[in-house]
Amino acid sequence: MRIGVLTGGGDCPGLNAVIRAIVRKAETRYGDEIIGFYDAWDGVMEQRSMTLDTAAVRGILPRGGTILGTRRGGPFDTADGVERVRKSFEDNRLDALIVIGGNGSLTVGSMLHEQFGLPIVGIPKTIDNDVVGTDATFGFQTAVQIATDAIDRLHTTAESHDRVMVVEVMGRDAGWIALQAGIAGGATAILVPEVPFDIDELSAVIAHRHDRGRYASVVVVAEGAMPKQGTLDMPEVAVNQYGHHSPRNIAQLIAPEITKRTGYESRVVQLGHVQRGGTPTSYDRVLSTRFGLAAVDAVHDAAFGQMVVLRCGEIARESMSATRGKIKTINLDLFADVSATFFG
């Protein structure tokens, strides 16, 4: 078989590991040819590709990023996009395409399969861990570890200067990174998109902590966290072509409000794209490899329109359409339990 591969959406640790697994299994176990498309759907439409064989993927297991490059957007963004994808399938004699991506890329893949019958298999990836249908996505654990390491370091400088450190992590629609890194790093408070916060209540928690002689506070806030209506003025932000809000810089907004209410000096640390880069953890390398191996089997089983997922520790399959218009949000029971136990 001739199998195409693309990586779409934001980059994350583990992409190269999954590409490597696909190539090694397809080539050695099935005798397949693998075509890697550059820059996500752009590469498919423009027919920019490279041959992927064992030599091409040698040494990429621990590397961050993706050797194929990635972009946002897809064929439904232009009038002739779908036709160009179909032509690329024909010209490249593709028997299948493996789409490695988040909610956006998987939604495009499911629509191309359902509406036009294209043979597509999906692999979920995102550091945000917000893809419906899978217990975990690769890249998430690495991002949590990076954020946790940063929080650990910030505790000591906060204690030295009796400051409040407001740490902003990624998580536009779901607070998985903030929740898990905040728990692991012993945060004073965690703010997530799923639960609107009250700036006065947050400030009271910080003031109470300092009154007990604890001379440092670390607040972990997901980039998409929002205040309760009427409790904090928020600026209007633009919405881009993909329906995403421009960054609100929420940490920059709440830090001075904390200082105003508590009198304690505050500092902002925005981890940003550091969370996406660098070497994937061993967990993410293993999960990426398992997903890659399973995706090749899915292609040979003609399980098109499906994505490989992690479910109760085992690799399973789920319809890619399960991701369409949906976000997997955090465990609210865990958040409430952690908040009641540790914050205050």
In a domain, 95, yes or no: yes
- 128, 130, 162, 173: the active-site residue: 128
Q: What is the mean pLDDT of residues 218-237?
A: 87
Residue 77 — pLDDT band, cuts 50, 70, 90? very high
In a domain, 102, yes or no: yes
Q: Is the pLDDT of residue 63 over 60?
A: yes
| pLDDT number for residue 208 | 87
In a domain, 110, yes or no: yes
| pLDDT number for residue 148 | 97
Q: Is the pLDDT of residue 144 over 70?
A: yes
Picking from 308, 275, 310, 286, the residue whose alpha carbon sits closest to that of residue 62 is 286
| pLDDT number for residue 210 | 80
Indicate whether 97 and 207 sit together in one domain.
no
Instruction: Report the number of secondary-structure helices (H) and strands (E) in the chain.
Output: 10, 11
Q: What is the mean pLDDT of residues 296-311?
A: 98
Indicate whether 177 and 153 sit together in one domain.
yes
Indicate whether 255 and 319 sit together in one domain.
no
In a domain, 312, yes or no: yes
Query: Domains in the chain: how many in total?
Result: 2
Token representation of residue 235: 């600026």
Indicate whether 92 and 131 sit together in one domain.
yes
Write the pLDDT tens digit of every residue in 81-140.
Answer: 999 999 999 999 999 999 999 999 999 999 999 999 999 999 999 999 999 999 999 999
The model's pTM is: 0.93
Write the pLDDT tens digit of every residue in 10-49.
Answer: 899 999 999 999 999 999 999 999 999 999 999 999 999 9
Edge-to-edge strand list for the sheet holding 164-169? 189-191, 217-222, 164-169, 266-270
Residue 230 — pLDDT band, cuts 50, 70, 90? confident
Report how far residue 214's alpha carbon sits from residue 206's, in angstroms, rounded to the nearest whole number. 9
Indicate whether 117 and 6 sit together in one domain.
yes
Question: Are 188 and 151 spatial neighbours (Cβ–Cβ below 8 Å)?
Answer: no
Indicate whether 251 and 293 sit together in one domain.
no
Q: Is the pLDDT of residue 240 over 60?
A: no
Q: Is the pLDDT of residue 272 over 80?
A: yes
Indicate whether 74 and 196 sit together in one domain.
no
**In this structure, which amino acid lies at residue 154?**
L
Mean pLDDT of the chain: 93
| pLDDT number for residue 270 | 94
How many angstroms from the chain centroid is the CA of residue 10?
7
In a domain, 333, yes or no: no
Q: Is the pLDDT of residue 237 over 80?
A: no
Last residue of a domain, one of 277, 307, 331: 277
Token representation of residue 282: 């061993």
In a domain, 127, yes or no: yes
In a domain, 168, yes or no: yes
CATH number at residue 130: 3.40.50.450
**In this structure, which amino acid lies at residue 342?**
F
**In this structure, which amino acid lies at residue 250?**
I
Indicate whether 76 and 200 sit together in one domain.
no
Write the pLDDT tens digit of every residue in 158-189.
Answer: 887 888 999 999 999 999 999 999 999 999 99
In a domain, 329, yes or no: no
Residue 337 — pLDDT band, cuts 50, 70, 90? very high
Report how far residue 71's alpha carbon sits from residue 173's, in angstroms, rounded to the nearest whole number. 20
Q: Return the bridge partners of 37, or none.
A: 49
Q: Is the pLDDT of residue 246 over 70?
A: no
| pLDDT number for residue 154 | 92
Owning domain of residue 304: 2-139+280-323
Q: How many angstroms separate the Cα of 222 from the Cα of each of 101, 179, 328?
A: 21, 9, 15
Q: What is the mean pLDDT of residues 279-295?
A: 97
Q: Is the pLDDT of residue 61 over 80?
A: yes
User: Does residue 301 carry a catalytic annotation?
Assistant: no
